[in-house]
Structure formats: structure tokens, C-alpha cells
Structure 1
């Protein structure tokens, strides 16, 4: 077994308007913008770097699973059910498209939300054990 890869450093998200999307991510997710031009915005949040890359209208980071349901490619973690509920309510008040909080049969609860461009993300109420240690 090799242990070369230590972490995910950057995630790329397709957006139509990097400036508008950057402002949305800053307001909704607490992102910090480190750079922006006409074709991309570089953000920092959730201990990671995110590039919002200008893409064609309709491009999404999600895919359709074997049940023909749109599926997210990323799950954000919060620290407990209280934070999950608070974040869910915050997004709803900001009129973000959010799903219901659900029990998926594993520890914790989840919900999904969409950004301005229709990219779907998941939120989980449990921090990963290795992240808790850090």
C-alpha cells in the first residue's frame, strides 16, 4: 500500500459567472476569495482551495446515479446535528435550494443544497474522526 496522497488540495467547480458565484460562496459558505479574473475565482474554505471555473451554461459537477437521481460529488461536514440544523435554516432563509434533513441509515444526518449554477452538494452532521483529531 502506498501513502503518497495526503489530502485533496483543490476542487474545481463549473460556474457561469465567476464573480457572481464567488460572492455567493462568500456569503453562503464563508469562503474567502484569494484571486479572481474573467475565467476563474480561487476561494478558500473548509480547509481547502476551490476554483470556480467559467464553464458553458448547463455544466454541473454532479452526475446521475444508477437510479437516475442527481448525485453530488462532495460532502461538507459540520460539527453535530445542531450545526447541521442551523446551516440548513440559514440556507433556507437565504432562499437557497435545499433538500430536507434526512437519516440515510448511517451515523448522523444529511441534506443537499444547490449553488447558483445548479451544482449539488451534500452536508453531513458528523466530522470525520481524523479531522476531529486535528
Structure 2
């Protein structure tokens, strides 16, 4: 049996290739992601949505109501409903205004100094996401 080195210095995981998002209705969610976020469908059924740089979001219809949201005291106060994913954008104001125009549940844009501008929103299934713009570029 080959011995495994215990002090790995190089990360063994390269990047996140795709993400799986639980949704209540595949068709309604695919339409929402297209209409509200401007994502394109990779497959006709809408189960794969493509981001601007080609990453995939798999929309998977759940058998019960479930989101990747969770509660923590480690982020923004006690019992904070945490998001599981952050989307980087080039124009946070445009994204925010578009979400507002579609009556999406969202929090105000927050200027976090050198960490950039950010806000959170929820999709049609209640999945909470984080949006971030790097203003230091």
C-alpha cells in the first residue's frame, strides 16, 4: 500500500466546476433564471443554466422543500440566514435594479470597503445567494 503524505502543501481541489441548486419547480425556476438573471439554458429542459463565463448551475427539482440556506452566528450577527454561494458581477447596480424590477426579495447593497460591494437575494425557490462586485479592479 502506498503511503499518503500527511502535510499536503498544494491544494488537491482545483476549483468548483458546477453547483447544484434545489428548486421547487424545474420549469418555473429555469424561466425565472432566464428572465430575471439573463442566464441561458444549456439543455432544453432548463436543468442546466449557464453563467456568463461558462460555469454551470444545475437546477434540480426537490421532492421536499429544501434550500442550501443555513443559520449561523459566525457571519453577520446571531442566527443569520447564510447563503451558500457568491456570484461575482461587473455592475452590481445594474443587477440590483434588475432584481428590484422583478420584485425579488433582496437586501440593500452594502459597501464593505476594500472587500467590495455586496448584497443578498433569494430566488423563486427561496435559495439565498450573495452578489459581489470587486471595486478594487
TM-score norm. by structure 2 comes to: 0.80
- 1:20, CA displacement in angstroms? 0.7
What is the aligned length?
124
The structure where helix makes up a greater share of residues is: 1
Q: Aligned to 1:93, which of 101, 111, 114? A: 101
Structure 2 gap segments, 5+ residues each: 1-8
Out of 33, 43, 47, the position equivalent to 1:41 is 47
Residue in 1 aligned with 2:87?
76
Task: From the CA coordinates, give the structure whose radius of gyration is larger.
Answer: 2
After superposition, what is the alpha-carbon deviation per residue over 1:27-76, rounded to whole angstroms, capped at 9, x for unaligned? 12221112255xx7111114311111111342001111122111011111
- Are 1:126 and 2:137 an aligned pair? no
Q: Give 4+ residue runs of structure 1 displaced > 6 Å after superposition.
A: none
Choose 102-111 or 69-78, whichever is displaced more: 102-111
Contact persistence 1:62–1:70 (CA under 8 A): yes
Alpha-carbon deviations, 1:47-106, whole Å to 9, x = none? 311111111342001111122111011111112xxx111211111011111110113454
The 10-residue stretch of structure 1 (118-127 or 100-109) with the greater mean CA deviation from structure 2? 100-109
Distance in structure 2 (CA, Å) of the matches to 1:100 and 1:55: 29
Partner residue, 2:5: none
Structure 1, unmatched stretches of 5+, are 130-134
* Contact 1:77/1:127 (8 A) holds in 2: no
